[in-house]
Structure 1
Amino acid sequence: MLDAVVFDFGGTLFHGENDVQRAVDARFRKMRELGYDIDRETFDDLSERTNERFGERYHGDYRRFELGRYTELFFEVWGREARAEDCETLDRVFWEARLDAESPDDHAVALLDHCHDRDLFVGAITNGNELMTDRRIESLDTGPLETDPFDLVLTSTAVEAEKSTVEPFEAFLDRTGFDGEDCLMVGDRVDEDTWASEVGMTTVQVTAHATPPVGEVREPDYVVETLAEVEPVVDDLV
């Protein structure tokens, strides 16, 4: 019997066109505005090198979403000093620009309503921080009643563990008291969201905006292209 449906955010309920590039552009403009003497060619080269080192250092580490972490490493790669407040500001500018370029999936609200209509507990487990989570939830148009679309939202920074481990899913079960066998996890990444199967959850991969996996993957129980196709899965399990 299905008691709860749990959603991933980025790439599943929310996505954007050229959102990363817009965010990178905003970071460069802000860096110049703060007085750092850097040209675009140098910035792009350092960003590429930082991305590679950041992935090596922080993949699977919830701290990569703490504001300032990326820019601290950028300046480390550059070999320059930076004010701590500037590091946080530049990371914040990046994420705000990226979130501005995102929007809810066309089927997101309808699917959330579908789950609520069936008296299911609706949760979310997302890699990210409070800024990312709050901005995304605010962008959901839940209609005139303005009801909270989620009964519980867990972020990787809040539980101090990423979804490329089992800990966030264990935390969800601890908080709610549900059995894993009675929960459905809906996400786009087979290297993150399918870790839910380790606690007995049924898993669905939504492929329309899926991020390519990094590292170990698990096969999902269902594979669908769009969020609209999740509704029949929910109905089959209720």
Structure 2
Amino acid sequence: MVEAVAFDLGGTLFHGEDDVSKAKSVLYERLCERGYELDSSKFESILREASVRFAAQYHGDYRRFHFGAFSEVFFDVWGVDTTAEERASFDRLFWQTRLRHQSLDEHAESVLRFCRRQDLVTGVITNGNRMMTETRLETAGIADEFDVVLCSTGVQAEKSTVEPFEIFLDETGLDGTDCVMVGDRIDEDTWAAEVGMTTVYLSGGSAESRGPEREPDYTIDSLDELPRVVTELL
């Protein structure tokens, strides 16, 4: 019987409209303001190479969400020296811009109310740092809706490993078979199956898979379909 539902954030409870491209534009403007000599085409070229290298180096490693991680790779590809503080400020600007251009899924609040009516434990298991996670939840006014909030830098493990899901079970005191994990990444969120959790894949995510994919137990096209799935499992 289901006693808890855990949610991913980005792509599941929150969606962005051109948030990445807007963050890139703001980052480029800030680089120019700081006096770095870099034309837009060169910036895009460095960004592409850095993104490939960053994914290869950090996927599966929670440290990629610490401030400075991506900028460190970016400046390394560029061949320009800068301070750790400067790199951290660029990463902070990038993520804060993305978060400003993300909004809560239109069905999120009703789904969370459903979970509360069913007296279910609700949780967040997300790849990210504390700032990113708290900003999302507080800005949307749903921070108090969750009993457990786990982010990868806090638990020192990414969702493309089993550790975050084990920690969720430890903190709730529940068995995996009593829990549901909802997310839009079948190379990350479906790792919950390793501890016996039922996995629900929210289709439509555009992120490229970076690791092995697992077949989800359920696939939904919209978050408002989740109550039906949970009801089946009660």
TM-score (norm: length of structure 1): 0.95
- Residue number in structure 1 paired with 2:134: 134
Q: Which residue of 1 aligns with 2:174?
A: 178
Q: CA RMSD in A?
A: 1.2
User: Which residue type is aligned with residue 196 of structure 2?
Assistant: G
Q: Who is 1:60 aligned against?
A: 60
Distance, in Å, in 2 between the alignment partners of 1:12 and 1:211 is 12
CA distance in 2, matches of 1:210, 1:199: 26
Residues 215-235 of structure 1, C-alpha deviations (whole Å, 9 max, x = no match): 201101000100000011111
Residues 189 and 210 in structure 1, CA contact (< 8 A), matched pair in contact too: no
Instruction: Trace 1:65-76 onto structure 2 (pairs within 5 A).
Output: 65-76=65-76
1:184-219 deviation digits (Å, cap 9, x = unpaired):
001111100010000000010011345342220110
State the secondary structure of the residue aligned to 2:140.
Answer: coil
Partner Cα distance (1:167, 1:6) in 2: 14
Matched, 1:221 2:192: no
Superposition deviation, residue 140 in structure 1: 2.2
Among candidates 147, 150, 153, match of residue 154 of structure 1: 150
Q: Which amino acid aligns with 1:96?
A: Q
Q: TM-score, normalised by structure 2?
A: 0.97
Say which is worse superposed, 131-140 or 19-28, in terms of deviation.
Answer: 131-140
Amino acid at match of 2:217: D
Give the match's secondary structure for 2:144: coil
Q: Structure 1 vs Structure 2: percent identity of aligned residues? A: 51
Question: Whole-Å Cα distance in 1 between the matches of residues 54 and 206 of structure 2?
Answer: 21
- Counterpart CA distance in 2 for 1:198 and 1:180 is 9
What is the SS of the residue equivalent to 2:145? Answer: coil
Residue 183 of structure 2 is matched in structure 1 by 187
Equivalent position of 2:115 in the other structure: 115
1:206 and 1:139 map into 2 onto residues whose CA distance is 23
Q: Which residue identity lines up with residue 219 of structure 1 in the other structure? A: E
- Could you tell which deviates more after superposition, 204-213 or 119-128? 204-213
1:116, 1:34 → 2: CA distance?
A: 48
CA-CA distance at 1:236 after TM superposition: 1.5
- Asked if residue 2 in structure 1 is aligned to residue 2 in structure 2, the reply is yes
Distance 1:141 1:93 in 2: 22
Q: For 2:31 and 2:206, how far apart are their aligned partners in 1?
A: 31
Q: What secondary structure is seen at the aligned counterpart in 2 of 1:49?
A: helix
User: SS state of the match for residue 6, structure 1?
Assistant: strand
Q: 2:38 matched to 1:38?
A: yes
Whichever residue aligns with residue 16 of structure 1, its letter is: G
Alpha-carbon offset, residue 39 of structure 1: 1.5
